[in-house]
Chains A and B, each alone.
Chain A
């Protein structure tokens, strides 16, 4: 099937049409209208549909900044969060910027209920939230991913009372990971942007009705994968940060390096994003996405953004030349008034951008103003280019240094750390042609600058495939199997015979079933990405086993030709 990828970026909305053979059939670009995302999305779609044979079915992949912007700008429904913390760290330590309503009840680390909720208290909390102006609600318990019953019971109490909340998000459904404050923030944001995503989904459905060729719609996620439109309404928070994810997926789709370790460097005007791909798989953010000051449990690709780009400020002092972190403005060569790295590259003939004469003029003026420091404008231009390359290489080194120092919890991982260092550097973005070869030379790596840098995010959106991840927790002493994301809490029979293989099989089966249930027929293989197995020993004899398994349909790409 042909695929249309649309990336609603901060400046432009890019659209790309891919053929069934994964060739680029057409590209379109239109300025993003932030006051009316729907209109600019529709415009991009109309433009790209001009390249499309109207009768062939086409799948639409959308990467939008809608939730990202809503989170950053604090828009969305007012939300009250009912929390079930039990004893532990004082709630005030978390300093939430939104109202939380603590109620009694406590689940311990094994998922055992140490104290029940009091329905009257839960109801009073919900009424208070309503009175305080909440239109949506989130309910989050400590260790609710080990036992969701307190969250479910609280929801039932509130729904039964018919208080008319637009949305009730439950913490355990969003992630199987441990982290109570992040689960609270994730659930809060999810409830907050749910209304916006619902409106957006309704618009997309209208577009689909107008264009019957669109057979299915997929929404890009922060982990570089896609999900269905309906699912995006129940888990809208997962659509945040899909733009940076799309650019990494584009790099994977377009690069000639398919299974190596590569560093992906996306150089823009103001910032440069650095991402690591290890053995053909992108590296995930530890913990989860961080956005607008909120630490969430949303699975996201690990990207590090630095304030360095083609339009960066240039600082000159006795210690030398330093670039960024702010944008200086439009390059002199392109009709702006300020000196930028782009001008240095243009003046030295490294890039064919705008008016070289204007670039030279601004360099001459700056070199003169800097006094004795530079003998000529060429000296200054070379110093600027060198500073760019030095800062970029230092940032790449820092990314790998921190990835290599991520704490691990087993002896074998300490002794046999996987080699994640890049074997090649892959560049995206307009300035990449100038700076990537120079950085590669300094790092001693082969390099590649990808084509289509102008519409790369659209390609990334089109090339992305569905992802699903589930966490399976098995506790044979208690005879329980729990998969929080899909609400499974089942007894397991014959726990003595239940082993790690069984746990992995369960995880794979549930993940595949979950993908099918979500209508994601075009998914790749299910991988087991984490396994932990422990004997539970009490009083010198083994009484059971605990397994923590994480299964995932990993983000995959179609290789674009």
Chain B
């Protein structure tokens, strides 16, 4: 048996006893055929490819990212904790140099989960990659530079929300154009908050984009940006719904394309996201990703129904892809020349109001957010969040967040705000989250669901 050229840690957790509902795309069967294909190809016998058992993440791990209303225990089930723990383990394996790279091939997924969590949206409750990123920073310190390249067909709106104003993170999302697919965001104008302007990069692609278009973007846009930004760690959020057979999206990507993408990107950590062509795509795409990570030959891999002529992307696609890529590249190159006041105003705070829909749990959330425009640090932030529908009927909460590398003034102002909001009686719950100091507080503290 040939040895892997790069050693791969595989955290495979198909959660064969968990589903959202029995006929939901996110159900027990989702990784069954993938398991069968991986075992049958003998991948786990290849020296250098080893399988690991995930651990179960604690409240503390999750609260480094999320504000769960009313508590972690209320929102997060054991399967989520295992998916989070498995993703964190992937990072541990790489940081401990046990393996060269790791693949968290697990479910449930996470990239649609925002910082504030009222329920599940886009099949996601908590954000696996984001919690892993905080885990990495707690191990390596705040100066580590982490790039997340999200190749799911759906815009990674949750990951974008969490790291929008985070200068330590570069977040690139390639996805089917938000005008044609859930969640309807991810336009090139979404470029990051005041402290991380230009570090949120969205590449919306027209329906029908195939290997040619996606690989063009990776080669001519993603790789040059990564080369310039020089991340210490590259994470690939590897959704597999760009595949030509996916029932929920409309793209034309193939298993060969995914393997080539992985080979070009050379990610340190790959995390599965969506992908619901469970028989026709996932078994082959995942084998392709594992082979590419291991530096092994994947050229003989293809789907049984793969017909290159039928899958060639429509003629009109490539010009659109190229012009989008050119525009995004221009934005990247000029990001330092943009005057922050023009984008974020001259007040003390940058303010935005958003409506967020939780399709999975049928909740409508309205957010009012303000970020301190601080010259010395990324600035503290307050999120007021109000919901209607879903489990809670109505909930009104506020969260005060202190970023990594916060200055003394911001930390003091954030604390004063937390105390003041907590005593105001305007909110059912007020949360305080300090990333660098690893503090999470809540008033009143609803650790017990019946305390409400």
> Hey, which bits of chain A sit against chain B, CB under 8 A?
86-95, 106, 108-110, 114-115, 142-143, 177-182, 287, 295, 405-412, 414-415, 532, 534-537, 539-542, 546
Contacts and interface: CB of A to CB of B under 8 A. Distances in A.
Nearest to B39: A178
A60 B333 CA distance: 82
B447 to A, nearest CB: 20
Given A89-B287, A94-B2, A109-B37, A535 B13 contact: no
B27 A535 contact: yes
Given A414-B56, A415-B78, A89 B42 contact: yes
Interface size, B (range): 35 or more
B304 A108 contact: yes
Contacts of A89: 41-43, 287, 291, 296-298, 300-301
Nearest to B12: A407
For the complex of A and B, 6 pairs with smallest distance between CB atoms? A181-B42, A114-B304, A178-B39, A90-B297, A410-B17, A178-B40
B377 interface: no
A177 B45 CA distance: 14
Contacts of B305: 114
A62 B28 CA distance: 45
B33 interface: yes
B40 A109 contact: yes
A171 B53 CA distance: 30
A410 B301 contact: no
B29 A412 contact: no
Contact of A90 (B28, B51, B299, B304): B299
27 contacts: A87-B300, A89-B297, A89-B298, A89-B301, A92-B297, A93-B296, A109-B279, A115-B304, A178-B36, A178-B40, A181-B42, A287-B44, A407-B13, A407-B52, A409-B12, A409-B16, A409-B35, A410-B15, A414-B54, A414-B82, A415-B78, A534-B32, A537-B29, A540-B23, A541-B23, A542-B22, A546-B29
A87 B299 CA distance: 9
A380 to B, nearest CB: 37
A538 to B, nearest CB: 9
Nearest to A86: B304
> Which of A143, A409, A535 has the largest count of B CB atoms less than 10 A from its CB?
A409
Nearest to A540: B23
A88 B283 CA distance: 10
B46 A109 contact: no
A409 B297 contact: no
Interface string B218-248: 0000000000000000000000000000010
Contacts of A409: 12-16, 35
A541 B22 CA distance: 9
> Which of A178, A542, A546 has the largest count of B CB atoms less than 10 A from its CB?
A178
A142 B22 contact: no
Contact of A287 (B29, B32, B36, B45): B45
Interface in B17-35: 17-18, 22-23, 27-29, 32-33, 35
Given A89-B291, A89-B296, A179-B42, A535 B22 contact: yes
B442 to A, nearest CB: 26
Interface string B280-297: 000100010001000011
